[in-house]
């Protein structure tokens, strides 16, 4: 997000631009999934609290400010929710200023109001966070199902606590035809609201003067948000387009989001346009429910563990290249190597995730939190290393595997199944190509000598020669197949990654004898990769087994791990075509 707007200050009263006599008291929080921002508006006629938030201490803090306002001038209190997700309202349950009947009028779009009144943990996303909430009375359902029957008619409603509001529904050109309402509480400034479903069924946007409150629409296409119960791609795109029309219509100075800092209107318009582009790519995504969150969290931990190992190997290779260049008097080149992977930044990200995961498991928190944290870390990791330049210096398969792992998680967390592009291929040549690539140096002595007259080419080949080391260089390797022609359906990239991970696992646990055999069995080709285990204390079941099994599925097969004496084996079953 852009840096935000400093025209409004958190935890301070300030005038609402374009609304005489109105003031606003923003409570802006660091972005998280626990609680939203809150905005308290005071006019001579009414106090309107937009989104009291998910924390009791936040709601209590706001109740104190409301109490001070009412002692200065007694006015009714309305609480408006931009939508009925639990992080926007759960803080009120135990606070007398809100929980006691008649103290405040709660107004929510009708579908959200019904979800709150029946304690619907799914629609309020409480279930996703492993929470429940009691049913709560909603006093005013906005945009009821038959609202169009009263289009253009001002209808006044009085409440037992003396509060009164006059509402007139219509469809405004300014909102591009979205359902629109004008809420008047007296002679003072009125509120405009639009029904803007997409992030949730009940989402609304609220305007007073130059301020536009948009709930969570800025985040509605984000991984870990898109696909929540009630999310609707078509409705979201429609709402985004029409709210851009509202902003383009002029008069709005600041857009106030449900999370994060306030944003000046031109920045908000650019951001909403970007959200629309993202949303258009999210057709047919899976619902983000507890099961999906659990799958994502498990995949995240496996992914981060493997990425950590890959980055450690890549950083070690680069360090060695840098050391050799320094010894050869190529200090500038050595410094360049160190910049390709910002080791400190990556270590900090990985350590932060490890600490978060440890605390997450200790406190038995719900999976969505771990999945969201992984999404943040993985997105930053994906931007942190210079893939193209790295691939010219160290083993390209290391860089490709790291990139593919990060991409697979991002795709999965966005609501799609991890990519698996199955194609028909001849298995034996594929295995031979993988094994050869892991056995032969990236460039030979002859290659180096032939490039001696071209300094740039020589340096590039030298870097590659120093930075790569064939995995099977010091291993007694054998390959055997009963059948030379075996056509299988497989995702080549993921299958190559799988075989490489298995070979790395065997070499890493001390195997100096590795064999690959291929057999035909019924409708399957069985690829068995086995090696002797010489490292003392090696675990019977490799810790990454779940990761390898998942990767094998993406490659188009199934994986079985075997152990017999000092031999460990991995059997990959692929369907014949």
pLDDT digits (tens, 9 = 90+) for 288-329: 999 999 999 999 999 999 999 999 999 999 999 998 888 888
Per-residue pLDDT of 100-124, as tens digits, reads: 877 899 999 999 999 999 999 999 9
pLDDT score of 448 more than 60 = yes
Range with lowest mean pLDDT among 65-69, 321-325, 527-531: 321-325
Helices 367-384 and 290-327, packing angle to 10 deg: 30
Q: Give the whole-angstrom CA distance, residue 211 versus residue 5.
A: 12
Res 101: pLDDT: 77
**Domain 420-441+471-577 CATH assignment equals 3.90.79.10:** no
CA 138 to chain centre: 32
Q: Is 240 helix (H, G, I), strand (E, B) or coil?
A: helix
Let me know: does 123 contact 230? Beta carbons within 8 Å. yes
- What is the average pLDDT across 139-165? 92
Which has the closest alpha carbon to 277: 313, 323, 303, 244?
Answer: 244
Strands of the sheet with 476-481, listed across from one edge: 476-481, 513-521, 524-532, 567-575, 557-564
Per-residue pLDDT of 249-302, as tens digits, reads: 999 999 999 999 999 999 999 999 999 999 999 999 999 999 999 999 999 999
Q: Give the angle 238-213-28 at the CA atoms, nearest 5°.
A: 130
Range with lowest mean pLDDT among 66-70, 210-214, 394-398, 568-572: 394-398
Transcribe 515-577 into DSSP letters: EEEEEEETTEEEEEEEEE--STT--SS-TTHHHHHHHHHHHTEEEEEEEETTEEEEEEEEEB-
Which has the closest alpha carbon to 171: 110, 242, 237?
Answer: 242
pLDDT score of 237 more than 50 = yes
- What is the average pLDDT across 538-562? 80
Res 541: pLDDT: 45
Under 8 Å CB-to-CB from 458, ≥6 apart: which residues?
A: 448, 451, 452
Q: Count CB-CB contacts under 10 A for residue 73.
A: 10
Q: Where in the chain is the domain with CATH 3.60.15.10?
A: 14-142+150-280
Let me know: does 49 contact 66? Beta carbons within 8 Å. yes
In the structure, what pLDDT confidence band is assigned to residue 543 with cuts at 50, 70 and 90?
very low
Q: Give the whole-angstrom CA distance, residue 473 versus residue 514.
A: 12
Report percent pLDDT > 90 for the chain. Answer: 73
Let me know: does 199 contact 225? Beta carbons within 8 Å. yes
Strands of the sheet with 179-184, listed across from one edge: 155-158, 164-171, 179-184, 191-195, 204-208, 211-213, 254-256, 263-264
Give burial (CB, 10 Å; 0-12/13-18/19+) of 326: middle
Res 501: pLDDT: 94
Q: Give the whole-angstrom CA distance, residue 35 versus residue 239.
A: 24
Let me know: does 471 contact 504? Beta carbons within 8 Å. yes
Q: Is 10 helix (H, G, I), strand (E, B) or coil?
A: coil
Report percent pLDDT > 70 for the chain. Answer: 96
Which has the closest alpha carbon to 519: 423, 435, 427?
Answer: 427
Q: Where are the alpha helices (DSSP H) in 81-216?
A: 96-99, 110-117
Let me know: does 346 contact 311? Beta carbons within 8 Å. yes
**Domain 14-142+150-280 CATH assignment equals 3.60.15.10:** yes
pLDDT score of 159 more than 90 = yes
Q: Give the whole-angstrom CA distance, residue 228 versus residue 104.
A: 29
pLDDT score of 418 more than 80 = no
Query: Long-range contact list for 114-117, CB < 8 A, 24+ apart?
Result: 114/138, 114/141, 115/84, 115/202, 116/84, 116/89
Per-residue pLDDT of 160-200, as tens digits, reads: 888 999 999 998 766 568 899 999 999 999 999 999 999 99
Res 175: pLDDT: 56
SS3 of 127-162? HHHCCCCCCCCCCEEECCCCHHHHCCCCEEEECCCC
Q: Count CB-CB contacts under 10 A for residue 151.
A: 12
Q: Give the whole-angstrom CA distance, residue 189 versus residue 15.
A: 12
**Sign of the Cα pseudo-torsion (347, 349, 353, 356, in order):** positive
- What is the average pLDDT across 457-463? 80
Please give the C-alpha separations between residue 281 and each of 19, 200, 308, 335, 337, in angstroms, as whole numbers: 39, 18, 30, 40, 37
Q: Where in the chain is the domain with CATH 3.30.565.10?
A: 420-441+471-577
Q: Give the whole-angstrom CA distance, residue 382 versus residue 303.
A: 12
Q: Give the whole-angstrom CA distance, residue 567 versus residue 577.
A: 31
Per-residue pLDDT of 329-351, as tens digits, reads: 888 888 888 788 988 999 999 99
Which has the closest alpha carbon to 112: 217, 9, 197?
Answer: 197
Q: Give the whole-angstrom CA distance, residue 228 versus residue 223.
A: 10
Let me know: does 372 contact 33? Beta carbons within 8 Å. yes
Strands (E), 236-385: 254-256, 263-264
Q: Is 207 helix (H, G, I), strand (E, B) or coil?
A: strand
Q: Give the whole-angstrom CA distance, residue 406 versus residue 418.
A: 11
- 562 pairs with which residues across the strands? 569
- What is the average pLDDT across 9-36? 96
């Amino acid at each position: 997000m852009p840096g935000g707007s400093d025209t409004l200050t958190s935890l301070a009263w300030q005038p609402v631009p374009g609304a005489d006599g109105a003031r606003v008291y923003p409570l802006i929080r660091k972005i998280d999934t626990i609680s939203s921002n809150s905005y308290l508006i005071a006019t001579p006629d009414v106090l309107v609290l937009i989104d009291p938030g998910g924390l009791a201490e936040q709601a209590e803090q706001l109740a104190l400010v409301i109490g001070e306002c009412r002692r200065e001038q007694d006015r009714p209190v309305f609480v408006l929710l931009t939508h009925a997700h639990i992080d926007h309202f759960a803080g009120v349950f135990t606070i007398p200023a809100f929980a006691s009947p008649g103290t405040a009028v709660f107004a929510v779009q009708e579908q959200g109001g019904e979800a709150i009144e029946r304690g619907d943990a799914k629609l309020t996303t409480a279930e996703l966070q492993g929470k429940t909430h009691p049913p709560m009375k909603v006093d005013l359902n906005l945009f009821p199902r038959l609202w169009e029957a009263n289009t253009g008619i001002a209808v006044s409603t009085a409440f037992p606590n003396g509060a009164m509001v006059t509402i007139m529904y219509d469809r405004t050109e300014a909102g591009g035809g979205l359902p629109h309402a004008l809420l008047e509480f007296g002679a003072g400034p009125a509120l405009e609201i639009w029904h803007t479903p997409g992030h949730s069924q009940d989402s609304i946007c609220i305007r007073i003067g130059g301020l536009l409150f948009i709930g969570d629409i800025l985040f509605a296409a984000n991984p870990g948000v898109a696909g929540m119960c009630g999310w609707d791609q078509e409705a979201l795109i429609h709402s985004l387009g029409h709210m851009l029309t509202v902003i383009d219509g002029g008069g709005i100075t600041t857009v106030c989001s449900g999370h994060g800092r306030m944003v000046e209107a031109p920045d908000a318009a650019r951001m909403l346009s970007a959200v629309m582009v993202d949303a258009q790519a999210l057709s047919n995504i899976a619902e983000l429910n507890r099961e999906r969150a659990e799958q994502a969290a498990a995949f995240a931990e496996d992914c981060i563990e493997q990425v950590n190992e890959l980055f450690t190997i890549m950083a070690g290779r680069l360090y060695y290249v840098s050391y050799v260049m320094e010894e050869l008097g190529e200090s500038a080149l050595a410094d360049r190597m160190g910049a390709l992977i910002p080791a400190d930044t990556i270590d900090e990200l990985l350590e932060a995730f490890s600490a978060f995961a440890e605390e997450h498991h200790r406190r038995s928190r719900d999976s969505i939190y771990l999945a969201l944290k992984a999404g943040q870390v993985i997105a930053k990791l994906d931007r942190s290393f210079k893939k193209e330049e790295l691939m010219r210096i160290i083993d390209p398969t290391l860089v490709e595997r790291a990139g593919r792992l990060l991409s697979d998680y991002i795709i999965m967390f966005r609501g799609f199944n991890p990519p698996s592009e199955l194609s028909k291929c001849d298995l034996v040549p594929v295995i031979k190509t993988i094994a050869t690539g892991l056995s032969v140096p990236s460039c030979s002595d002859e290659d180096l000598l032939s490039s001696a007259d071209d300094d740039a080419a020589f340096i590039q080949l030298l870097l590659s020669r120093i930075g790569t080391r064939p995995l099977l260089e010091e291993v007694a390797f054998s390959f055997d197949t009963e059948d030379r022609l075996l056509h299988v359906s497989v995702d080549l990239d993921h299958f190559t990654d799988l075989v490489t991970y298995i070979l790395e696992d065997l070499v890493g646990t001390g195997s100096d004898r590795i064999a690959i055999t291929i057999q035909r069995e019924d409708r399957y080709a069985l690829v068995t990769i086995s090696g002797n285990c010489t490292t003392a204390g090696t675990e019977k079941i490799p810790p990454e087994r779940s990761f390898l099994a998942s990767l094998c599925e993406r490659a188009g097969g199934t994986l079985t791990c075997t152990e017999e004496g000092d031999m460990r084996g991995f059997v990959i079953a692929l369907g014949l075509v």
